[in-house]
Chains A and B, each alone.
Chain A
Amino acid sequence: GQNIDQPTEMTATEGAIVQINCTYQTSGFNGLFWYQQHAGEAPTFLSYNVLDGLEEKGRFSSFLSRSKGYSYLLLKELQMKDSASYLCAVRDRSDYKLSFGAGTTVTVRA
Chain B
Amino acid sequence: DSGVTQTPKHLITATGQRVTLRCSPRSGDLSVYWYQQSLDQGLQFLIQYYNGEERAKGNILERFSAQQFPDLHSELNLSSLELGDSALYFCASSNTGAGNQPQHFGDGTRLSIL
Contacts and interface: CB of A to CB of B under 8 A. Distances in A.
B42 A96 contact: no
Interface string B1-12: 010000000000
A98 B56 CA distance: 10
A100 B56 contact: no
A41 B6 CA distance: 13
B100 A100 contact: no
B55 interface: yes
Interface in A33-48: 33, 40-45, 48
Interface residues of B, number: 25
Interface in A41-96: 41-45, 48, 50, 87, 89, 95-96
Interface in B75-109: 88, 90, 97-98, 100, 102-108
A42 B55 contact: no
B104 A45 contact: yes
Interface of A: 31, 33, 40-45, 48, 50, 87, 89, 95-103
30 contacts: A31-B100, A33-B102, A41-B107, A41-B108, A42-B90, A42-B105, A42-B107, A42-B108, A43-B43, A43-B105, A44-B2, A44-B105, A45-B102, A45-B104, A48-B100, A48-B102, A50-B100, A87-B42, A95-B56, A96-B31, A96-B55, A97-B45, A97-B58, A98-B33, A98-B45, A98-B103, A100-B42, A100-B43, A101-B42, A102-B41
Interface of B: 2, 31, 33, 35, 41-45, 48, 55-56, 58, 88, 90, 97-98, 100, 102-108
